[in-house]
């Protein structure tokens, strides 16, 4: 199967500049076919929750590609309950690029963006998205809704695409100050979004429907918080791609029936799961779920599992359905990612709560926050007694990663943990 997918990706990489719409249709056919495989012949080693997530995420991406005119291009940290009210598809930039990587078809779009003047060091998720637009493979969404939260590229990519497509953009500015004044400022901006959505969809915004959706978000967050408590003891069979799916379901998916269904299934699975016996890792930042060494070492291994990815739980703040705009604002303002020190301290908190054996700090290509924080994260974790590996790579562009280096460093780190390595015997930087 990997050989066939590789050949398919090679074809897309060669044809996309000349025949973008043909490639779009081929990708849609491929994703739909794979969706049938996931539905009727699921990966049996995955528990029901993770089988469900795989099917749902495939469905989300096919809807993005098939009907971009009914979608809003969004950043991963953008609260999307207001879009859910209006039945607008959240077209997540990072999810879209990750799926192109899954078909080995990302490099032509990253290269196209670079040829158009986008820096080589720019975030690959955003380069692939931009290149898809520049080739004509990705048709224009209805509009753009994004936040400044965390990612520097958010402030550039979406503005560029709004100009390129000639569509409107709703930009949500999130201050770095973590206080109630910032919450009020963000909430007031969010209160302007319903009018923007009414103008661009032709539908009437329903506040009662928003209340019900926020109730769903409230229940989902409570269940995912309980999952985090249960994870402390359990081994839940899974793969690194499942962790990536959960990032979407815990962010852009919040408020949807699918997200709550996933939380229900996941809580049931984790409560039935056997006791964890192997190594337990905290993974910090995005995961290169496509990379062979990562998959070989971490997929379906009882002796070593990712117990938590910090991005999956970043937005699990309490929700008050009676105050929806303030709740969404607090999710952003009080996010542990909103500021370097808070993210470092949150990583230590997770390591302690989950009693992990060690942490991997993944420095995704072009992500200035994790690159700038990597040394601080590593040092702080090691001071607290948690061995930490800083692993450089790329979450979605094969050109910027070395399988050999990743395998060597990950192998050495895991062996160190198995031998009971302490903070005095860390893996040196590459």
Is 302 a domain residue?
yes
Residue 371 is predicted with a pLDDT of 73
> Which residue ranges in the chain fall short of pLDDT 50?
422-428, 430
Is 14 a domain residue?
yes
Residue 424, exposed/middle/buried by CB under 10 A (0-12, 13-18, 19+)? exposed
Is 430 a domain residue?
no
Alpha-carbon distance 29 to 208, whole Å? 38
- C-alpha 92 chain-centroid distance: 9
Q: Describe the crossing of helices 207-230 and 257-272 by its angle, rounded to 10 degrees.
A: 20
pLDDT digits (tens, 9 = 90+) for 135-188: 999 999 999 999 999 888 888 999 999 999 999 999 999 999 999 999 999 999
Residue bearing tokens 């705009």:
325
Residue 428 is predicted with a pLDDT of 46
- Contact in structure between 54 and 241 (CB atoms under 8 Å): yes
The tally of domains found in the chain comes to 1
* DSSP letter (8 states) at residue 427: P
- Contact in structure between 336 and 346 (CB atoms under 8 Å): yes
Beta bridge partners of 359: 282, 388
Residue bearing tokens 């040394």:
375
Is 286 a domain residue?
yes
- Contact in structure between 17 and 108 (CB atoms under 8 Å): yes
Is 426 a domain residue?
no
- C-alpha 4 chain-centroid distance: 26
Half-sphere exposure of 139 (CA within 13 A, CB side): 16
Is 428 a domain residue?
no
Residue 150 is predicted with a pLDDT of 86
Is 355 a domain residue?
yes
Is 423 a domain residue?
no
Task: Give the structural domain span for 173.
Answer: 2-418
For the chain, what percentages of helix, strand and coil (3-state, to nearest 5) are there? Answer: 60, 10, 30
Residue 423 is predicted with a pLDDT of 44
Residue 201 is predicted with a pLDDT of 97
Residue 2 is predicted with a pLDDT of 67
- C-alpha 363 chain-centroid distance: 14
- Cα–Cα separations (whole angstroms), residue 85 to 90, 148, 171, 198, 286: 12, 22, 19, 11, 29
């Amino acid at each position: 199967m990997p050989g066939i997918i590789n050949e398919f990706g090679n074809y897309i990489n060669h044809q996309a500049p000349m025949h973008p719409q043909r490639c779009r249709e081929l990708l849609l056919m491929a994703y739909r076919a794979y969706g049938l495989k996931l539905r009727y012949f699921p990966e049996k080693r995955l528990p029901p929750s993770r089988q469900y997530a795989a099917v749902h995420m495939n469905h989300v991406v096919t809807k993005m590609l098939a009907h971009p005119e009914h979608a809003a291009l969004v950043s991963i940290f953008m609260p999307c309950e207001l879009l859910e009210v209006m039945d607008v598809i959240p077209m997540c930039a990072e999810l879209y690029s990750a799926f192109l990587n899954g078909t080995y078809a990302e490099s032509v779009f990253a290269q196209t963006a670079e040829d158009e003047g986008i820096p080589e060091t720019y975030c690959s998720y955003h380069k692939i998205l931009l290149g898809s637009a520049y080739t004509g493979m990705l048709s224009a969404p209805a509009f753009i809704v994004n936040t400044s939260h965390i990612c520097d590229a958010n402030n550039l990519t979406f503005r560029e695409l709004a100009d390129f497509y000639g569509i409107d953009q709703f930009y949500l500015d999130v201050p770095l100050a973590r206080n109630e004044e910032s919450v009020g400022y963000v909430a007031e901006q969010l209160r302007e979004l319903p009018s923007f959505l009414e103008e661009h969809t032709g539908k009437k915004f329903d506040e009662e429907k928003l209340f019900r959706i926020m109730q769903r978000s409230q229940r989902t967050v409570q269940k995912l918080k309980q999952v985090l408590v249960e994870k402390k003891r359990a081994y839940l069979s899974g793969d690194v791609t499942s962790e990536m799916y959960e990032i979407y379901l815990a962010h852009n998916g919040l408020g949807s029936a699918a997200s709550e269904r996933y939380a229900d299934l996941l809580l049931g699975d984790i409560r039935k799961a056997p006791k964890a016996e192997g190594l337990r890792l905290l993974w910090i930042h995005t995961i290169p779920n496509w990379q062979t060494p990562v998959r070989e070492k971490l997929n379906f291994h009882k002796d070593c599992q990712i117990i938590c990815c910090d991005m999956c739980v970043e937005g699990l703040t309490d929700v008050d359905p009676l105050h929806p705009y303030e709740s969404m604002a607090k999710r952003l303002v009080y996010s542990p990612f909103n500021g370097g020190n808070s993210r470092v301290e949150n990583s230590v908190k997770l390591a302690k709560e989950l009693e992990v054996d060690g942490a991997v700090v993944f420095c995704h290509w072009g992500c200035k926050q994790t690159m700038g924080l990597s040394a601080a994260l590593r040092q702080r974790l090691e001071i607290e007694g948690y061995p930490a590996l800083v692993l450089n790579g790329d979450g979605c562009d094969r050109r910027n990663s070395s399988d050999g280096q990743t395998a060597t460093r990950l192998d050495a780190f895991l062996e160190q943990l198995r031998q009971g390595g302490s903070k005095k015997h860390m893996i040196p930087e590459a």
